[in-house]
């Protein structure tokens, strides 16, 4: 288990703490996720600091104000009363993108009605697991489209229940009265195993691609061959390189170690995002240097929410924006695209297996 968030044990119940901050089994992947980003080292240029820095990126034929997005996370209402809406408002105010989990405790329409008010903002996406029938998928997607969401994130790396053992041992369970307003009509929803469709296939994705007019983002890709196939068959518009934060299965390769290879296999055919183990703006800089177009942030957001509500999350986002801008300036780059194209990043040999 990461030691970064030990202070939260005084704020959250043991079950909720373990649910959000533990990993699968021995938490090897959880720990390696964090360490892997720190093993890469950036080589800056001197006497080339720009007069100004822009974090703006091009994505889906639009200009995004920054490369940051909040990863989809279930049950944020258990962490703080501000919950999903508080994080969404902080994201919009700080020009971060926001991905709402289908297991959010807040109606998707309420989130979009507030988030979309911001004129200068990041993207608003909706994440779902392929549970239920095709008809139920379409019903949910139709609702998502009407609410103004701009892409559909399909999580494909969690076909089974993933509650960490430490959380179960600590007595965690989703309360029977926990609101899940975005799953109405989906049978039954007592546990995540109940609602996850066990056999989402390539054929299912092809069907979904034909029926869904929103851009499709596939979350949970680790194998370059899978990434290449998604592009070869035009099954998505973006890929999120993710191991679910080390929550689903242990001893899975950290995303930092496969990101560059997946970027190469995609060959600019779709956008590539990454998550899992991102704990600082320095980690974000490494991810961008390795080829990511944007980066998702998860556990740091939960920690900030627990400690300070929406204001704490906004403070975290503001700090990360400032820190990434400073890193780029010190390295001699004024734009994300220039940084990605020209930064010298290295992996010291002593870390190679």
pLDDT digits (tens, 9 = 90+) for 13-41: 999 999 999 999 999 999 999 999 999 99
Annotated binding-site residue? 129: yes
Annotated binding-site residue? 247: yes
State the pLDDT at residue 205.
97
Task: Give the domain ranges of the chain.
Answer: 6-43+55-346
DSSP string, 184-223: TTPSP-SSHHHHS-TT--HHHHHHHHHH--S-EEEEEE--
Bigger pLDDT: 183 or 339?
A: 339
CB neighbour class for 269 (10 Å; exposed up to 12, middle 13-18, buried from 19): middle
- Per-residue DSSP letter, 120: S
Q: What is the pTM of this model?
A: 0.94
State the pLDDT at residue 353.
44
CB atoms within 10 A of CB 223: 13
> If phi over 0 gives left and psi between -120 and 50 gives alpha, with beta otherwise, what is residue 268?
left
What are the pLDDT digits (tens) for 269-305? Answer: 999 999 999 999 999 999 999 999 999 999 999 999 9
Q: 6-43+55-346: what fold?
A: TIM Barrel (3.20.20)
Strands 344-346 and 294-297: unpaired
Q: How far is CA 318 from CA 67, 105, 206, in A?
A: 13, 25, 39
Any alpha helices (H) in the chain, and if so which ranges? 14-21, 28-39, 83-93, 108-115, 134-146, 165-169, 192-195, 202-211, 224-232, 255-266, 281-289, 299-331, 336-342
Q: Which residues pair with 100 in a beta bridge?
A: 126
Tell me how far the alpha carbon of residue 347 is from its chain's centroid: 24
Report the pLDDT averaged over residues 236-260.
96
Work out the angle at residue 176's Cα, subtended by the Cα atoms of residues 300 and 84, and round it to the nearest 5 degrees.
30
pLDDT of 223 over the 80 cut: yes
State the pLDDT at residue 344.
96
Annotated binding-site residue? 251: no
Q: How far apart are CA 234 and CA 250, in angstroms?
A: 30
Annotated binding-site residue? 111: no
pLDDT of 199 over the 80 cut: no
Annotated binding-site residue? 155: yes
Q: How far apart are CA 265 and CA 271, in angstroms?
A: 12
- Which residues lie closer than 8 Å to 220 by C-beta, 6 or more apart? 155, 156, 157, 158, 240, 242, 243, 244
What are the pLDDT digits (tens) for 133-170? Answer: 899 999 999 999 999 999 999 999 986 666 888 898 89
State the pLDDT at residue 190.
44
Reduced to 3 states, what is the DSSP secondary structure of residue 102? Answer: coil
- Per-residue DSSP letter, 274: E
Radius of gyration of the chain (CA): 19
Annotated binding-site residue? 180: no
State the pLDDT at residue 265.
98
Q: How far apart are CA 226 and CA 242, in angstroms?
A: 13
State the pLDDT at residue 131.
80
CB 292 within 8 A of CB 221: no
Mean pLDDT taken over the chain: 92
State the pLDDT at residue 116.
97
Annotated binding-site residue? 275: yes
Q: CB-side exposure of 283: number of CA atoms within 13 Å? A: 23
Annotated binding-site residue? 281: no
pLDDT of 214 over the 90 cut: yes
pLDDT of 306 over the 70 cut: yes
pLDDT of 230 over the 60 cut: yes
CB 68 within 8 A of CB 96: yes
Backbone angles phi, psi at 240, to 5 degrees: -105, 115
Strands 57-59 and 62-64: antiparallel
Q: 213: pLDDT confidence band, cut at 50, 70 and 90?
A: very high
Annotated binding-site residue? 101: yes
Active site residues: 244
Helix axes 281-289, 299-331, angle to 10 degrees: 60
State the pLDDT at residue 35.
96
């Amino acid at each position: 288990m990461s030691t970064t968030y030990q202070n939260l044990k005084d704020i959250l119940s043991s079950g909720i703490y373990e649910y959000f901050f533990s990993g699968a089994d021995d938490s090897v992947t959880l720990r390696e996720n964090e360490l892997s980003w720190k093993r890469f080292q950036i080589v800056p240029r001197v006497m080339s600091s720009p007069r100004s820095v822009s974090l703006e990126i091009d994505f889906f034929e639009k200009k995004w104000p920054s490369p940051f997005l909040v990863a989809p996370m279930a049950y944020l209402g258990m962490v703080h009363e501000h919950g999903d809406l508080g994080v969404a408002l902080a994201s919009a105010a700080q020009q971060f993108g926001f991905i709402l989990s289908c297991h959010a405790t807040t109606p998707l329409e309420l989130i979009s009605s507030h988030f979309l008010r911001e004129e200068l903002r990041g993207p608003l996406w909706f994440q779902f697991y392929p549970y239920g029938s095709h008809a139920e998928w379409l019903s949910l997607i139709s609702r998502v489209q009407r609410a103004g969401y701009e892409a559909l994130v399909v999580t494909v790396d969690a076909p089974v229940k993933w509650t960490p053992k430490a959380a179960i041992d600590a007595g965690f369970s989703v309360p029977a009265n926990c609101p899940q307003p975005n799953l109405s009509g989906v049978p039954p929803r007592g546990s995540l195993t109940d609602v996850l469709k066990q056999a989402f296939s390539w054929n299912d994705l092809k069907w979904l691609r034909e029926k869904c007019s929103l851009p499709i983002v596939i979350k949970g890709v680790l194998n370059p061959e899978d990434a290449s196939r998604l592009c070869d068959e035009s099954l998505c518009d973006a890929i999120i390189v993710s191991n679910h934060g080390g929550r689903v299965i242990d001893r899975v390769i950290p995303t930092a170690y496969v990101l560059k290879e997946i970027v190469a296999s995609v060959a600019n055919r779709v956008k590539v995002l990454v998550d899992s183990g991102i704990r600082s703006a320095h980690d974000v800089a490494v991810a961008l240097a390795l080829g990511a177009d944007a980066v998702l942030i998860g556990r740091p957001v939960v920690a900030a929410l627990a400690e300070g509500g929406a204001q704490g999350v906004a403070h975290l986002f503001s700090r990360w924006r400032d820190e990434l801008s400073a890193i780029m300036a010190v390295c001699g780059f004024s734009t994300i695209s220039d940084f990605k194209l020209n930064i010298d990043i290295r992996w010291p040999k002593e870390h190679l297996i």
